[in-house]
């Protein structure tokens, strides 16, 4: 028997019981790992205290899950199940997640530290919408007929890979699960998914809904564990045909290397960013400040597309910095318990992440940058960091070049459009970028020149499920979301039919 974690919560925003099975989900059942005593402690980042422990898988558990997935692919999923039926099942899963929104949102906030009202009204609805969006695509996976000559009929089929390995991050654990699972299942693949060991609770809860949704055993397997065990096993398993990963660029390199050394599995990577946000003097000033603050401080800065390098034209630089400082001060008053109605800014997800961000702040100080506001712990418990603004930055500083993944904005002055573009592109990353200007010609000219996979004009992080998402350079390979994601989960087969050719 596997353990079930239960906790009664009585908070200003959520009152009720949350519960999850803490075992591995393999072949439609929660099971104990092969190493029965292997556990991972799950911590509440708002308090720094342990919530519960979950089972930790190993390479052997991954192999068992892959074998279950292979059997399911051959007998009860893949192309044996019509797209209309796959879509119906995905819609049923979306309905079940929506029905359990309050509890899943509470688990997300308890585990990740984000405000409960954000989890409830943004993260979980996005999760539901993603499953519904790809449910609609499930019966629309189409190839083409290709004219050759009258003696031959040629066409293409878009076929699933089979077993797909998926590794998701901790910052948006519910919606990241949907972004990976939904297109993979819609196109007929079966999945072995590893949640982050830091934030596994929402994946565990959703795993408990899969059977009720009608997903056959083995089609989805969820294996908790560490990256160097479960993640490495997924990346190198010879029966996994494709792996999709969201996380750091360093880990992305390791996954791609493991793919090359094993079976050359297809790799989709959504990696880090050091995204530029360019504010021109003719921008709508008030809106630019609001979007810039949201772009760096949303989810406590723990967003891969965070606008962490803010470039401001010199004529409005001082005014903008002062206004952004006021926004940061307001944000500081909204830090607190994720289950408080007034909270807009939660903790960093872990002690490791807290220490990492503080290291970057210290490096900025040591490099001669100015900490205009913030730069320190907030409160006496948990992993809270004050919203921070760094000025007097030089291009070679770590705070400018490396991904902080926290509530730390580096604000940099520029003179001309050409200078702004050059500085914005001076990075190994290319995930996102934004431009604020009322000059439409300039806006289009600049976003076309920026080396980033996601660009925004007069907004920031305004991402939609039906629009592709992914990065340039060391920010990743391939695209998620939208119709484009279907291409990453199918392989094209060309079929040549002889209608009369004679030798």
Alpha-carbon torsion, ordered 139, 144, 150, 153, to 10 deg: -60
- Is residue 397 within 8 A of residue 404, CB to CB? The reply is no
* SS3 category, 77: coil
Number of neighbouring beta carbons within 10 Å of residue 503: 2
Neighbour-count burial of 90, counting CB atoms closer than 10 A to its CB (0-12 exposed, 13-18 middle, 19+ buried): buried
Neighbour-count burial of 500, counting CB atoms closer than 10 A to its CB (0-12 exposed, 13-18 middle, 19+ buried): exposed
Find the helix packing angle between 83-99 and 124-137, rounded to 10°. Answer: 170
* SS3 category, 145: strand
Structure tokens at 153: 């009929």
Q: How large is the C-alpha radius of gyration of the chain?
A: 24
Structure tokens at 338: 């994720």
Of the candidates 360, 163, 314, 298, the residue with the CA atom closest to the CA atom of residue 243:
163
Catalytic residue among 108, 197, 270, 451: 270
Number of neighbouring beta carbons within 10 Å of residue 356: 15
DSSP structure class, residue 31? E
Q: Is 270 a catalytic residue?
A: yes
Structure tokens at 360: 């970057």
Residues 6 or more apart in contact with residue 173 via CB below 8 angstroms? 108, 111, 112, 195, 196, 199, 200, 201, 202, 203
Structure tokens at 292: 């810039």
String of DSSP letters for 398-448: HHHHS---SSEEEEEEE-SHHHHHHHHH-SS--SEEEEE-S-HHHHHHHHH
The span from the CA of 455 to the CA of 472, in Å, is: 11
- Is residue 389 within 8 A of residue 321, CB to CB? The reply is yes
- Is residue 64 within 8 A of residue 24, CB to CB? The reply is no
DSSP structure class, residue 80? G
Catalytic residues: 270
């Amino acid at each position: 028997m596997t353990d079930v974690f239960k906790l009664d919560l009585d908070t200003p925003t959520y009152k009720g019981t949350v519960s999850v099975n803490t075992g591995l989900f393999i072949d439609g059942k929660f099971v104990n790992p092969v190493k029965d005593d292997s556990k991972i402690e799950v911590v509440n980042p708002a308090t720094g205290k342990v919530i519960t422990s979950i089972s930790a898988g190993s390479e052997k558990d991954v192999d068992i899950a892959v074998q279950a997935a292979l059997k399911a692919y051959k007998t009860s999923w893949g192309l044996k199940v019509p797209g209309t039926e796959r879509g119906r099942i995905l819609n049923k899963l979306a309905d079940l997640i929506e029905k359990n929104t309050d509890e899943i949102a509470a688990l997300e906030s308890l585990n990740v530290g984000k405000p409960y009202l954000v989890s409830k009204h943004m993260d979980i609805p996005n999760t539901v919408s993603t499953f519904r969006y790809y449910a609609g695509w499930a019966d629309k996976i189409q190839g083409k007929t290709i004219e050759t000559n009258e003696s031959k009929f040629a066409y293409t089929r878009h076929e699933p890979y089979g077993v797909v390995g998926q590794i998701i991050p901790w910052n948006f654990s519910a919606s990241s699960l949907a972004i990976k699972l939904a297109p993979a299942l819609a196109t007929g693949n079966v999945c072995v998914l590893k949640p982050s060991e830091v934030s596994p609770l929402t994946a565990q809860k959703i795993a408990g809904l899969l059977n009720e949704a009608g997903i056959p055993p083995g089609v989805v397997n969820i294996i908790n564990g560490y990256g160097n065990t479960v993640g490495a096993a997924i990346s190198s398993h010879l029966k996994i045909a494709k792996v999709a990963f969201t996380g750091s660029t360093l880990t992305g390199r390791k996954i791609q290397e493991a793919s090359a050394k094993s079976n050359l599995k297809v790799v989709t990577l959504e990696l880090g960013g050091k995204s530029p946000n360019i504010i021109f003097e003719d921008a709508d000033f008030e809106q630019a400040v609001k979007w810039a603050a949201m772009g760096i401080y949303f989810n406590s800065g723990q967003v891969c597309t965070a606008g962490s390098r803010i470039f401001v034209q010199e004529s409005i630089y001082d005014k903008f910095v002062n206004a952004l400082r006021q926004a940061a001060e307001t944000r500081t008053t909204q830090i607190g318990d994720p289950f408080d109605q007034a909270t807009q800014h939660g903790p960093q997800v872990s002690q490791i992440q807290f220490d990492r961000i503080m290291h970057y702040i210290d490096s900025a100080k040591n490099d001669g940058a100015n900490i205009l506001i913030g730069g320190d712990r907030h409160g006496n418990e948990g992993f809270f960091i004050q919203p921070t603004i760094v000025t007097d930055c030089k291009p070679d500083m770590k705070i400018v070049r490396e991904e902080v993944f926290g509530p730390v904005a580096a604000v940099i002055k520029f003179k001309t459009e050409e200078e702004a573009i050059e500085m914005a592109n001076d990075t190994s990353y290319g995930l996102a970028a934004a431009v604020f200007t009322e000059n439409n010609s300039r806006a289009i000219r600049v976003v076309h020149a920026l080396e980033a996979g996601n660009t925004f004009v007069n907004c920031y992080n305004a991402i939609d499920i039906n629009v592709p998402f992914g990065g340039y350079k060391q920010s990743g390979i391939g695209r998620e979301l939208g119709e484009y994601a279907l291409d990453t989960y199918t392989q094209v087969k060309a079929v040549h039919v002889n209608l009369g050719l004679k030798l």
